[in-house]
Amino acid sequence: MLLALAGVTGVGKSYFKDKIVEKLGFEKIKIITTRQIRIGEKNNEDKIFVTPTELEKLKNSNLIAYDFNMLGNTYAYTKEALFSNKNTVFELHYDTIFDFKKICPHLVVIYIFPTNIEMAKEETRKRHLSPDVEKKRLLEIDEHYNNMTSNNKLKSQFDYIVYNNYDQESENKILELVKNLINK
């Protein structure tokens, strides 16, 4: 199963992805990015950090299934990762959903809504981002949240919408949903 988690910055996509890997045996799909590595990140763990030239070589070698730009950086996924027969999970930026559904019609997407948008903002502030990037991320949270609450066409692209209260109950609900999807 190819599983994607979507939601605003700070909603817990990385956390839930790690729990799905740990508790349900999924493999992480590592996104390739040209952005700078942040404090605490490790190359080749959740992300593969490359130069723009290195990414261009991968694209020219026909290894990339999809790439997009966000906040001045390029992000990409390999064909090998997206078309694997394994149970895999990755984080999906919400506005790429239309493209991903065309590229990977077998994709299952869980959208995680924060029950409290301020909690997502607080989690974002904990990331040690530069002031400029933090400001952009916080503005993006508001924009993203407003799009998801008002755009029914966008909302309809997600297979499941769950709420994160930032508690054990929310974690249990998401893990139970994924267990049920595996057993279908």
Residue closest to 34 by CA, chosen among 14, 3, 61, 59 = 59
C-beta of residue 141 within 8 angstroms of C-beta of residue 121: yes
Residue range 38-61: average pLDDT? Answer: 92
- Count of other CB atoms within 10 angstroms of residue 23: 12
Looking at residue 61, its pLDDT comes to: 97
In percent, how much of the chain has pLDDT > 90?
Answer: 74
How confident is residue 70, by pLDDT bands cut at 50, 70 and 90?
confident
Q: What is the pLDDT of residues 106-124, one digit of tens each?
A: 999 999 999 999 999 999 9
Overall number of domains in the chain: 1
Is the pTM value of this prediction over 0.75? Answer: yes
Element (H, E) at 75: strand 73-78
Nearest to 3 by CA among 133, 174, 119, 149: 174
pLDDT in tens, 137-162: 899 899 989 999 899 999 999 999 99
Report yes or no: 43 and 1 within 8 Å, Cβ to Cβ: no
At residue 95 the predicted structure's pLDDT band, cuts being 50, 70 and 90, is: confident
Domain that holds residue 43: 2-182
Q: Given this model, what pLDDT does residue 129 score?
A: 83
CA–chain centroid gap for 75, Å, is 11
Looking up residue 153, the CATH number of its domain turns out to be: 3.40.50.300
DSSP state of 43: B
